[in-house]
Amino acid sequence: MGRGSALHPTDPVTRLRGIGPRLEAGLGAVGIHRVLDLLLHVPRRYEDRTQTVRIVDVPAGREPILIRGVVRRLNVRRRGRRGRGLVQAEIVDASGALPVAWFNQTWLAQQLRRSPEVYLYGELRPDPRDGQPQLVNPVVEPVDRDDPAAERIVPIYGKLGPLSGRRLRRTIESALSALDDLVDPLSPDLRLSLGLPGLGETLRQLHHPNAPVSGSERQSWIESLGTLSTPAHRRLAFDELLGLAGSVTRLRSLRRQQQAPPCRSRRRLDELIRLPFELTGAQVRVARQIRDDLMRPFPMARLLQGDVGSGKTVIAAMAAVAVLQNGYQVAVMAPTELLAEQHHRSFRGLLAGTPHEPLLLTGSCGVAERRRILARLCSNAPELVIGTHALVQEGVAFERLGLVVVDEQHRFGVAQRQALVEKGEGPHLLVMTATPIPRSLALTAYGDLDLAVLDELPPGRRPVRTVVRRRSDSDRLWRFVAREVADGGRVYVVFPLIDASGGLEAESLHENLEDMERRLSGARIGVLHGRMKRSEQEGVYEAFRQGRVQVLLSTTVIEVGVDVREATVMIIESPQRFGLSQLHQLRGRVGRGARQAWCVLLVDEGMSAMATQRMQAFCSTDDGFRLAEADLRLRGPGEMAGLRQWGADGLRFASIFRDHDLLELCRSVATRLQEAGKLEETLVRLAELYPAARDVPGY
């Protein structure tokens, strides 16, 4: 190194040879500042270059071989620019000579002239002219440079900012000495009990693997390296998942240390409000759970999961009344104004027999109205306010917030839900979602909450029938719609776009409006989308509810929560534009009454095979869980809000799908650390090492 003291993991990258201010800036732009950041950039795959082959012994097969020799008889034929053309040569060792050809890499010629002694690593293929074997496009590693790439298992890196994979290999090799000074975030005891290697050793193995010498062991070792499943890989995945599981555990335990507003209720929750129907068995069970939660000394933190239409709203209403009766305030947050308004209506109905009158706070409240509501929330009175994310805005303060209800949680992040919770002093929390969360995700994204499930639909519902129809062949569909409407039914037609968009192959509402009006001339058509004024939206929705509008052309503003019993047909245009869970939500808008309901996916010819497969999956089941799992597999966890806030969609080393067992392990380890009073410091040390983890709430 020649620059004084030993290299330390937290030193800036400029301490490494060849990294000056320019490269420093380029690396900084991709989040690499310290030597350690570079060391955490692990190889994508490995190549086994441990055995050189003598040219006389070159095998007939096509597997890659490594030859060490001198390149001679270079012949370059350039064709155009950018290295196009052919380089031919031969490589010679003590045993013989072998022809070599490189296509479209004419820059190699100069490098080979400068340092002709090389390792070549590549495949043999017959020369098309004479059938003789030749090496084609082999990787070139000069023998005389101190590149750590020859005669060993070679790590292959992806490009990182301004550094090519090969340059990176050399730079990282020169940085390995910093590992001597690395402090392991896991204690030796813990590591030993879990059989995990130390972090320094882990990174050294990943960047400079040393295979065991013995034959069979060696082979399986090389294979696990190839599938990135060595103990070293597991160690990094463990650290990452421990950061996640640990911060969830921490949040949970912080909550349990808080003093909850005591909310006793001697009566059953369903006796507190006037119910227009009998509760389902599942609703009774969940109501009892929540009543027990509310009586504990620490705040409730419940995730209520129930498929669309399972009746979550009354559960929230019952919990709200229990809290109001104890003199505390309640805030109910919904993702859209439409849904907030609908909840406001439902709550008003359900609470009609109580002294409580719900308030409604959304972005379209007038100034005076807003001021009136804020004043009441600042008072000592047990108020119930329903609203959108307007509730978490600055200036909204509660005097006695006792319960926070977050509806359709998947539309919010952990951060937003925390923001509302923090407007009180340890209020109870009820989070509701219709998007079933696969178990592995539930453990991470919602692991700080206790789960309750509504696994029963109210009686008298018939499953929605789902079919695929072609746009080119939709006359029968529209005749069916006309009949359905004449029969008193109501129909949604959902578009992915409001207006035509040049780049996207998807139907838009406005492009289709005229056509619809012509085809359904007997029906009253309304239009609803997010660019309309709030009052207009509300007017149209109200008209649809009352039947003055029979066919509602809309965008996904109606996706969540909207509840119109008479709606029997849901037509989805360009369904391939939506995720499966989203389609499931849309389908859940119909089939709420006793009549047979339909969901129609209206597709174009020439949908991709993948899309066709997804649509078939959707038609074949109305099990929201299976759809969510499928969605997750097909689209990845990035689509699930909540996960992003935990950093779980940015996992670098672990996979929520592959590493279930590891995640479970991390959860129990986190609990153990918590009990031993060591979780906090472990999280801090993990966050120092893995900077991405710092953005996670609760960390």
Q: Is 436 in the site for ligand ADP (CB under 6 A)?
A: no
d(CA 424, CA 108): 67
Binding piece for Mg ion, criterion CB under 5 A, among 47-55, 556-564, 568-576, 667-675: 556-564
Integer-rounded Cα Rg, in Å, for the chain is 32
d(CA 482, CA 493): 13
| Single residue of 138, 496, 561, 575 touching Mg ion by CB under 5 A | 561
Q: In this complex, which beta carbon is closest to ligand ADP, that of residue 308 or of residue 323?
A: 308
State in angstroms the smallest separation of the CB of 346 from ligand ADP.
Answer: 7
> Which DSSP helix (H) or strand (E) runs through 361?
strand 359-361
- Going by C-alpha positions, the residue among 322, 332, 316, 258 that lies closest to residue 291 is 322
Residues 272, 333, 495, 457: what is their CA dihedral angle, to the nearest 10 degrees? -30
Q: Is 336 in the site for ligand ADP (CB under 6 A)?
A: no
Q: How many CA atoms lie within 13 A of 457 on its CB side?
A: 18
| Single residue of 233, 370, 417, 592 touching ligand ADP by CB under 6 A | 592
- Show contacts with ligand ADP in window 181-200 (CB under 6 A): none
State in angstroms the smallest separation of the CB of 383 from Mg ion.
Answer: 22
- Show contacts with ligand ADP in window 450-509 (CB under 6 A): 458
Q: In this complex, which beta carbon is closest to ligand ADP, that of residue 118 or of residue 290?
A: 290
Residue 592 binding: pick among Mg ion, ligand ADP, none (C-beta 5-8 Å cut-off by kind)? ligand ADP
- Going by C-alpha positions, the residue among 584, 592, 533, 526 that lies closest to residue 559 is 584
State in angstroms the smallest separation of the CB of 598 from ligand ADP.
Answer: 18
- Show contacts with ligand ADP in window 534-553 (CB under 6 A): none
Q: Is 308 in the site for ligand ADP (CB under 6 A)?
A: yes
Q: Is 209 in the site for Mg ion (CB under 5 A)?
A: no
Q: Is 280 in the site for ligand ADP (CB under 6 A)?
A: yes
Q: Is 352 in the site for ligand ADP (CB under 6 A)?
A: no
Residue 36 binding: pick among Mg ion, ligand ADP, none (C-beta 5-8 Å cut-off by kind)? none
**Long-range CB contact pairs, 195-202, < 8 A, 24+:** 195/231, 196/231, 196/234, 196/235, 196/238, 197/231, 197/232, 197/235, 199/235, 199/239, 199/689, 201/232, 202/231, 202/232, 202/235, 202/236
State in angstroms the smallest separation of the CB of 579 from ligand ADP.
Answer: 18
| Single residue of 434, 586, 679, 683 touching ligand ADP by CB under 6 A | 434
Residue keyed to tokens 């534009």: 577
State in angstroms the smallest separation of the CB of 9 from Mg ion.
Answer: 50
Q: In this complex, which beta carbon is closest to Mg ion, that of residue 184 or of residue 559?
A: 559
| Single residue of 306, 413, 489, 624 touching ligand ADP by CB under 6 A | 306
| Single residue of 13, 287, 314, 386 touching ligand ADP by CB under 6 A | 314
B/e letters for 596-609, b = 16+ CB within 10 Å, e = fewer, are ebbbbbbbeeebee
d(CA 287, CA 281): 10
Q: In this complex, which beta carbon is closest to ligand ADP, that of residue 160 or of residue 562?
A: 562
d(CA 618, CA 596): 18
Q: Is 566 in the site for ligand ADP (CB under 6 A)?
A: no
Q: In this complex, which beta carbon is closest to Mg ion, that of residue 200 or of residue 561?
A: 561
Q: Is 335 in the site for ligand ADP (CB under 6 A)?
A: no
- Show contacts with ligand ADP in window 12-51 (CB under 6 A): none
Q: In this complex, which beta carbon is closest to ligand ADP, that of residue 425 or of residue 563?
A: 563
323 alpha-carbon distance from chain centroid: 34
d(CA 637, CA 192): 32
The secondary structure of 419-479, three-state, reads HHHCCCCCCEEEEEECCCCCHHHHHHHCCCCEEEEECCCCCCCCCCEEEEEEHHHCHHHHH
> Which DSSP helix (H) or strand (E) runs through 312?
helix 312-325
Binding piece for ligand ADP, criterion CB under 6 A, among 85-93, 108-116, 198-206, 274-282: 274-282
Q: Is 334 in the site for ligand ADP (CB under 6 A)?
A: no
B/e letters for 610-620, b = 16+ CB within 10 Å, e = fewer, are ebeebbebbee
| Single residue of 24, 47, 538, 563 touching ligand ADP by CB under 6 A | 563
Q: Is 279 in the site for ligand ADP (CB under 6 A)?
A: yes
**Tokens of residue 647, six digits:** 């950093």
| Pairing relationship of beta strands 401-406 and 428-433 according to DSSP bridges | parallel
State in angstroms the smallest separation of the CB of 565 from Mg ion.
Answer: 14
Task: Give the C-alpha distances (Å, rounded to integers) separating 326 from 265, 344, 453.
Answer: 8, 21, 26
- Going by C-alpha positions, the residue among 489, 498, 598, 502 that lies closest to residue 553 is 498
**Tokens of residue 215, six digits:** 């034959």
State in angstroms the smallest separation of the CB of 341 from Mg ion.
Answer: 13
Q: In this complex, which beta carbon is closest to Mg ion, that of residue 387 or of residue 561?
A: 561
State in angstroms the smallest separation of the CB of 563 from ligand ADP.
Answer: 5
| Residues binding ligand ADP (CB under 6 A) | 277-280, 283, 306, 308-314, 434, 458, 561, 563, 592
| Residues binding Mg ion (CB under 5 A) | 561
